[in-house]
Amino acid sequence: MSVEEKPLIVISGSNSGIGLAMTREMLDRRHAVLGLVQDAERDPVQHPDYRQEQVDMSDPESLQTRIAEILRGIDGPVRALVNNAGIGRMGFLEQLSVSDLQVVMNTNFLSHAIVTRAFLPLLKRQGYGDIVFTGSESALSGTRQGSVYCASKFAM
């Protein structure tokens, strides 16, 4: 089976943590994976059915532009979009800068809305495709020094 015939799974944050585990699982299940990553230098996967594209999930303007470029390069159907990328900036709210707040909210919430919005026309045209969001228990339980992280996960 060639890569073109394999179902394509798009996973943000595919080169670390939960995203890396999902990437490996999808490759084991004979899917092709397109990873959307913050740091393209880190590529722990090294698999012929995996490629990664660098995106800045914390910068909405550049993310929109970059995702449009990536979409133009996708020539087959997308089986699933997995919105998984995330970042934690822990500390009491008064200790975090406005920049910290923006980075966490942009990465953990707004970026997923931007990416999903960009992929929706493709998924609608092809008539199928799943959209998955990786949440966190913190969205419901909260933590003392994780208010911004918890809020970003609740927003998602």
pLDDT tens per residue across all 156 residues of the chain: 344 578 899 999 998 899 999 999 999 999 999 999 988 887 788 899 999 999 999 999 999 999 999 999 998 899 999 999 988 888 888 999 999 999 989 998 999 999 999 999 999 999 999 999 988 777 678 788 878 777 778 878
Catalytic site includes residue 50: no
**Dihedral in degrees, nearest 10, Cα atoms 131, 136, 142, 145:** -110
3-155: CATH topology is Rossmann fold (3.40.50)
pTM: 0.90
Task: State the burial class of residue 35 (Cβ atoms within 10 Å of its Cβ: 0-12, 13-18, 19+).
Answer: buried
**Residue tagged active-site, from 146, 149, 151, 156:** 149
**Order of strands, edge to edge, in the sheet holding 78-83?**
50-54, 32-37, 8-12, 78-83, 130-133
